[in-house]
């Protein structure tokens, strides 16, 4: 099932961001370090390219992500033009304080009382933009919540007489192109729960974790004590094993899969499972290649069916034409 989520206030938020971008120097895009590509909003790239603004990509929550995979993403993003990428945790004030200096490097002509450095923070919901703002300002100025889309309007703040920063609401885009991205975002809590089925998201997450981090899964849930081989499981098997391991049962005696799903999602989101990344540059490229191949095969199949249908239609009409000709030129009638 494809996941889509685009609350109404995001349309006006996009329009306001487009207007603001005309008057800023650097775009700060906050990404989730565990899913950097999936958490990138393509609308931001469209607006940035139109205005020709340099970009600082912040891979936030790096303390929860796999360090080796994060480094691969940094190499990938830093190879792009007009882009600087850094990995940090916005919950660490020392990390956040580095950001104005990094933006200054991207816009060296700004950063004085006469020409203050103007920064714009953008990103999808729940990646840590408001936490970053509060760390930069040393006070709780931006609303922070555990649910996506807490911030509903832009907020502008003066850092000092040489720099100011504008925080924008978390913005999704109208249609998520790749089905896997919807699940990656839902697992990472960037999409509201009203748009997803937790059990489906947890099963998808389980498949990813089993493939990439079976040892961490086994350590967290102690499945070897049940003589279970994690590598032989799929996401549904994992949820059932966790339910049995933790004795999550409903009143009717069945295993409580909803509770189990939330347990797995919560452990991933909090880092209790360990430092994991759900996508790498390589896995991202492989996923896109696979989806494109599947789409091409589907289009070819549809084209073949259409051609067969047209051929059958043509074949059905030919005998009737012959009969008509025979009646028209019957020697007896003539």
Q: Which of 270, 304, 324 is at the close of a domain?
A: 270
**Burial track 3-20 (b if 16+ CB lie within 10 A, e otherwise):** bebebeebeebbeebeeb
> Is the same domain home to 158 and 66?
yes
Question: pLDDT of the chain along its 334 residues, tens only?
Answer: 567 655 555 667 778 888 888 889 999 999 999 999 999 998 888 876 666 789 999 999 999 999 999 999 999 999 998 899 999 998 887 888 899 999 999 999 999 999 999 999 999 988 988 888 888 888 766 555 454 445 557 888 999 999 999 988 888 887 888 999 999 999 999 887 777 899 999 999 999 999 999 999 999 999 887 878 898 999 999 999 999 999 999 999 999 999 999 999 999 999 999 999 999 999 999 999 999 999 899 899 899 998 888 888 888 887 655 545 555 555 544 4
> Is the same domain home to 156 and 212?
no
CA-CA distance, 199 to 227, in Å (whole number)?
24
**Burial track 236-273 (b if 16+ CB lie within 10 A, e otherwise):** ebbbebbbeeeebeeeeeebbbeebbbbbbebbbeeeb
Cβ(121)–Cβ(165) under 8 Å? Answer: yes
- Pick from 121, 122, 103: which is nearest to 54 by CA? 103
Q: The CATH number of the domain where 117 resides is what?
A: 3.40.50.300
Query: How do strand 163-167 and strand 26-32 relate by DSSP bridges?
Result: unpaired
* DSSP character at residue 25: S
68 falls within a domain: yes
Q: The CATH number of the domain where 214 resides is what?
A: 1.10.1580.10
CA-CA distance, 7 to 169, in Å (whole number)?
11
Cβ(58)–Cβ(99) under 8 Å? Answer: yes
> Is the same domain home to 75 and 126?
yes
State both tokens at 187: 């697992």
> Is the same domain home to 71 and 210?
no
Phi (first) and psi of residue 59, to 5 degrees: -85, 90
> Is the same domain home to 86 and 226?
no
Q: Which of 246, 270, 294 is at the close of a domain?
A: 270
> Is the same domain home to 27 and 160?
yes
Q: Which domain holds residue 86?
A: 11-167
> Is the same domain home to 139 and 234?
no
Helices 235-246 and 214-221 meet at what angle, rounded to 10?
20
pLDDT at 32: 97
As a whole number of angstroms, the longest Cα–Cα distance in the chain is 106
State both tokens at 197: 């089925």
318 falls within a domain: no
Cβ(31)–Cβ(57) under 8 Å? Answer: yes
> Is the same domain home to 67 and 204?
no
202 falls within a domain: yes
330 falls within a domain: no
CA-CA distance, 34 to 69, in Å (whole number)?
9
> Is the same domain home to 111 and 159?
yes
Look at residue 166 and give its three-state secondary structure.
strand
94 falls within a domain: yes
Within 10 Å of residue 38's Cβ, how many Cβ atoms?
24
Helix, strand, coil proportions of the chain in percent (round to 5)?
Answer: 50, 10, 35
39 falls within a domain: yes
> Is the same domain home to 242 and 144?
no
> Is the same domain home to 30 and 160?
yes
- Pick from 34, 91, 39: which is nearest to 271 by CA? 34
Number of domains in the chain: 2
């Amino acid at each position: 099932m494809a996941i889509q989520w685009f609350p109404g206030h995001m349309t006006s938020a996009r329009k306001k961001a487009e207007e603001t971008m005309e008057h800023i120097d650097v775009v700060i895009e906050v990404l989730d370090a565990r899913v950097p590509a999936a958490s990138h909003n393509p609308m931001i790239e469209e607006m940035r390219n139109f205005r020709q603004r340099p970009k600082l990509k912040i891979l936030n929550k790096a303390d929860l992500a796999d360090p080796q995979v994060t480094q691969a993403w940094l190499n990938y993003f830093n190879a792009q033009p007009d882009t600087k990428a850094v990995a940090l945790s916005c919950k660490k004030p020392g990390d956040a304080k580095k950001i104005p200096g990094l933006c200054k490097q991207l816009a060296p002509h700004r950063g004085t009382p006469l020409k203050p450095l103007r920064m714009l923070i953008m990103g999808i919901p729940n990646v840590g933009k408001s936490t970053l703002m509060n760390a930069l300002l040393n006070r709780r100025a931006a609303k922070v919540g555990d649910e996506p889309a807490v911030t509903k309007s832009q907020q502008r703040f003066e850092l000092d007489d040489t720099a100011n920063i504008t925080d924008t609401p978390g913005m999704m885009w109208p249609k998520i192109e790749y089905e896997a991205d919807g699940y990656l975002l839902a697992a990472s809590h960037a999409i509201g729960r009203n748009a997803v089925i937790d059990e489906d998201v947890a099963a998808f997450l389980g498949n990813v974790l089993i493939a990439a981090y079976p040892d961490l899964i086994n350590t967290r849930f102690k499945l070897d004590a049940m003589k279970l081989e994690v590598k032989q499981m799929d996401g549904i098997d994992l949820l059932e094993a966790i339910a049995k391991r933790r004795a999550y049962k409903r009143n009717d005696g069945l295993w409580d899969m909803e509770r189990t799903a939330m347990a797995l999602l919560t452990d991933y989101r909090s880092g209790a499972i360990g430092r994991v990344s759900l996508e790498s540059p390589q896995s991202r490229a492989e996923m896109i290649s696979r989806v494109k191949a599947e789409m091409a095969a589907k289009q070819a199949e549809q084209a073949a069916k259409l051609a067969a249908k047209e051929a059958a239609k043509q074949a059905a009409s030919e005998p009737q034409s012959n009969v008509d000709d025979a009646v028209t030129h019957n020697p007896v009638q003539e």
